[in-house]
Amino acid sequence: MKKYNFNAGPSVLPREVIEETAKAVLDFNGSGLSILEISHRSKDFQAVMDEAVALFKEILHIPEGYSVVFLGGGASLEFCMIPYNFLEKRAAYLNTGVWAKKAMKEAKNFGETIEVASSADANYTFIPKGYTVPSDVDYLHITTNNTIYGTEIKEDLNVDVPLIADMSSDIFSRPVDVSKYICIYGGAQKNLAPAGATFVIIKNDALGKVSRTIPTMLNYQTHIDNGSMFNTPPVLPIYSAMLTLRWIKKLGGLHVMEQRAIEKANMLYGEIDRNKLFVGTAAKEDRSRMNICFVMQPEYKDLEADFLKFAGERGMVGLKGHRSVGGFRASCYNAIEKEDVQALIDCMQEFEKMHS
């Protein structure tokens, strides 16, 4: 039976990326060695790192004066590294979900932290708007896509302070004006690679402005100066990331990725809004294209477990919503095809007929 992978992360990857990675696990680049055991200092792997960085810059149209590094530790470590490197006196945070809240918590260890707006009172079902960002903050931090609640900031904000974004779950799903940001970061395990690698895009001249001493490993300048090789990088995920970036480029880049994302999201949200059994949880204007969250209509609440079982028997994987929200979550990252979404829609329609 074909499996339809709607997991929120680690998530679906392009089939050709998985196959090429599998080949490299057995024999990397004809070297007779596995990618799992190749030296990160070898010429073969240096070529992988160089291409991954070059593709990052090409596909995202990253301007001069920015560096791209690959680290370990996930976005959760960046919650600490961001204020370590950029927060001198005070920083502003937009609270749009669990991960934004965790980022803000870490920042409080380094200076004054201002919550400019929050949708917590509404269980994060919308993106706050119309808030004021103090002009004297070191930066504004946003989380562009909220995987648990299914909301997304789909356009780059225009603010008069340095902007930092956690783009873990929507990077490479739409064009981004990188020049608006001093830092963009995220875990790679959504749209880019297997778990284990973290990408960070850094505006070089934004560094070196804090007065504190930064531990060597937590200093972005360390990793820029050493080309992500100060310590052993996550070799396999970086290799897979390079392959995924090749795939994105081959398909036509970020405008194509965005169009694919819009089409898939419109298909599934259209069915959620039509189907008498289901209802979306996020405000319509803020609905995520990446993580589509929905629940049973109140009168059908007792069918939730039945639908998960029904969908599972038809190959649907990873549909259970986050424990803090319940219901269902279909993560439609770049590698999900329209046919996969249609299979879920067919499943929803079949289940509806059973309960008409």
Strand residue runs (E) in 188-345:
198-203, 278-280, 291-296, 316-317, 328-331
Q: Is residue 233 reached through a cis peptide bond, with omega within 30 degrees of 0 on the bond before it?
A: no
CA distances from 302 to 149, 297, 298, 306 (A): 21, 10, 9, 8
Helix orientation angle between 254-274 and 235-251, rounded to the nearest 10 degrees: 90
3-class secondary structure, 136: coil
Structure tokens at 325: 């929200």
Residues 55 and 49: their CA atoms lie apart, in Å, by 10
**C-alpha distances in angstroms, 24 versus 35, 232, 277?**
6, 18, 45
In single-letter form, the type of residue at position 170 comes to D
User: In this structure, what are the phi and psi dihedrals at residue 224, rounded to the nearest 5 degrees?
Assistant: -65, -45
Alpha helices in 226-277 (DSSP H): 235-251, 254-274
Which residues form the catalytic set?
Answer: 99, 166, 190
Return the residue matching tokens 């680690």. 10
Give the C-alpha separation, 124 to 126, whole Å: 6
Is residue 321 within 8 A of residue 328, CB to CB? The reply is yes
Backbone angles phi, psi at 261, to 5 degrees: -65, -45
Locate 350 and state its tokens. Answer: 């079949």
Give the pair of three-digit tokens for residue 46: 């240096």
